[in-house]
Amino acid sequence: MSDKSAKLVLPNGEELDLAVYSPTEGNDVIDVSQLVKNGYFTYDPGFMSTASCESKITYIDGGKGILLYRGFPIEQLAQSCDFMEVSYLLLNGDLPNVEQKKAFVDRINNHTMVHEQLAMFFRGFRRDAHPMAIMVGVVGALSAFYHDSLDINNPIHREKSGFRLIAKVSTIAAMCYRYSKGHPFVFPRNEMSYAENFLHMMFSMPSSDSKPDPVLVKAMDRIFTLHADHEQNCSTSTVRLAGSSGANPFACIAAGIASLWGPAHGGANEACLKMLQEIGDVKNIPEYIARAKDKNDPFRLMGFGHRVYKNFDPRAKVMRESAHEVLKATGKQDDPILQVAMELEKIALEDPYFVEKKLYPNVDFYSGIILDAIGIPTNMFTVIFALARTVGWVSQWSEMISEPTQKIGRPRQLYTGLSERDVKPIEQR
């Protein structure tokens, strides 16, 4: 697998030849796994320079602002495919034909309902509970209902659990919103597309037969596609690490949801809209830009910056176009929040601080504006992200579990605590 090597000279003068592996796209990797035998660990907090695994699913070129799902550019997928085709692609490696898509959608539709006992879990939460807290609990509890598909070494069980998760996460997400409003839960409809079904379960009322607006359905479907996967990000790495212990897929996805909740990660969309609302008017932008640059102020421009993208996040570009479409369709094109967002983006992209640090809008900068225009409350934004990312998490988890050489993930550390010492009797402490 490797015809290149890197030479490492250890402090004692010993020279090691480390294998170097070349990818299809991106950086070569240096295999450091033998170091422990020579009494060394690598040290890389935040994994800035660490490839944790080999994967064939998603590729990001941060410098060029490129995102590929199984080789297809995200811009083309967002333009030409729907979320079910993209889900099939991530899970199976290629886009489906008409028959394959129909069979896939039919299987998803067979699993969109949840056990009636699961619906009772919601009763234990306050109506104002954050929906991400409910998602972590309820998705994790799914494993209590599906003992027939928990043998992760059985590919049939893995596939069935994956379908159950992708299908039910949408129903559970909508139930979070309905419960918070005191509205009755709405059953899924198999004749609807995935995105249409989600908006139906979110907003339809027993007292009317109104259907979701097709423009909003298309925007929702595109948001799902743009959030579906993103290589080894924080929450995906969480899912892989949890899965490496052999934990069941429902527990692993619940761990991913918990990890995604952080404001530095999937929680940024909720934080970003709150920031735009707090800024409120374009005249206040300079004050917030100054705060974002002030090292003594923990404030960061939410929706800006990225560990990998040092250029425009390609998802942000597609999201920006969608934002204009949705606001026009909902008659909110003069929404001051959009004006603030566009002016903030313009100013930040011209400011030397952001230019020097290569801070560009990321996927979370415009998504909140679209979700807000669709009528989704701010505290549901990260739930939408988790809903969409579930297919990516399932794909990455399944790829890991199917890898014959996969081992439990167990990093080491740089220990700087105290060396061994003896316990004194309490009277002498």
Q: Tell me the closest approach of the beta carbon of residue 233 to ligand SDX, in angstroms.
A: 3
CB of 230 to ligand SDX, least distance (A): 3
Report helix, strand or coil for 221. Answer: helix
Helix (H, G, I), strand (E, B) or coil at 69: strand
Using only C-alpha atoms, the chain has a radius of gyration, in whole angstroms, of 23
Of 63 and 155, CB closest to ligand SDX: 63
Q: Does 268 bind ligand SDX (CB under 6 A)?
A: yes
3 state DSSP class of 59: strand
**Amino acid letter, residue 381:** F
Site residues for ligand SDX, window 348-367 (CB under 6 A)?
A: 357, 359, 362-364
Q: Which of 292, 318, 369, 373 binds ligand SDX (CB under 6 A)?
A: 292
Q: What binding mask, one character per residue, do residues 308-327 give for ligand SDX by CB under 6 A, x or -?
A: x-------------------
Report in angstroms how near the CB of residue 83 gets to ligand SDX at its nearest. Answer: 15
Contact between 372 and ligand SDX per CB under 6 A: no
CA distance 53 to 402: 13
Based on the shown chain and the rule CB under 6 A, indicate whether residue 302 belongs to the binding site for ligand SDX.
Answer: yes
Of 189, 45, 27, 31, whose CA–CA distance to 105 is shortest?
Answer: 189
Residues, the chain, total? 429
Kindly tell me which residue out of 300, 310, 317, 332 binds ligand SDX, with binding defined by CB under 6 A.
Answer: 300
- Site residues for ligand SDX, 195-234, by CB under 6 A, read 230, 233-234
Smallest gap from Cβ 5 to ligand SDX, in A, equals 30
Which range touches ligand SDX (CB under 6 A), out of 36-44, 181-189, 259-267, 339-347? 259-267
- Residue in 122, 288, 304, 397 binding ligand SDX, rule: CB under 6 A: 304
Candidates 131-139, 166-174, 301-309, 371-379: pick the segment binding ligand SDX (CB under 6 A).
Answer: 301-309
Q: Does 332 bind ligand SDX (CB under 6 A)?
A: no
Q: Is 386 in contact with 132 (CB distance < 8 Å)?
A: yes
Helix or strand holding residue 30 (H, E): strand 29-30
CB 64 within 8 A of CB 36: no
Question: Catalytic positions, please?
Answer: 265, 306, 364
Residues whose CB falls within 8 Å of the CB of residue 418, separated by 6 or more in sequence, listed in order: none
Nearer to ligand SDX, 364 or 399 (CB): 364
CB-based contact 140:254 (threshold 8 Å) = yes
Binding status of residue 305 toward ligand SDX by CB under 6 A: yes
Give dist(CA 354, CA 421) in Å, integer.
Answer: 49
Reported in sequence order, the residue ranges of 167-265 that DSSP labels E, i.e. its strands, are none
Q: How far is the CB of 3 from ligand SDX (least distance, A)?
A: 31
Interaction residues for ligand SDX, span 162-201 (CB under 6 A):
none
Binding flag, residue 157, ligand SDX (CB under 6 A): no
| Count, residues near ligand SDX per rule CB under 6 A | 22
Does residue 87 contact residue 391 with C-beta atoms inside 8 Å? yes
258 binds ligand SDX (CB under 6 A): no
The window from 3-11, 299-307, 373-381, 409-417 that contacts ligand SDX (CB under 6 A) reads 299-307
> What are the distances in angstroms from CA 325 to CA 95, 219, 343, 407?
27, 8, 18, 47
| Residue 387: C-alpha distances to residues 34, 74, 93, 108, 220 (Å) | 39, 18, 21, 14, 11
- The smaller minimum CB distance to ligand SDX, of residues 328 and 357, is found at 357
Question: Binding residue for ligand SDX (CB under 6 A) from 6, 36, 103, 264?
Answer: 264
Closer of 5 and 284 to ligand SDX (Cβ): 284
256 contacts ligand SDX (rule: CB under 6 A): no
Across the strands, what pairs with 66?
A: 61
| 88/304 with CB nearer ligand SDX | 304
Spatial contact of 80 and 73, defined as CB atoms under 8 Å apart: no
**Residue 133 and residue 351 in contact, taking contact as beta carbons nearer than 8 Å:** no
Give SS3 for 66.
Answer: strand
Q: Which residues bind ligand SDX (CB under 6 A)?
A: 230, 233-234, 264-266, 268, 292, 300-308, 357, 359, 362-364
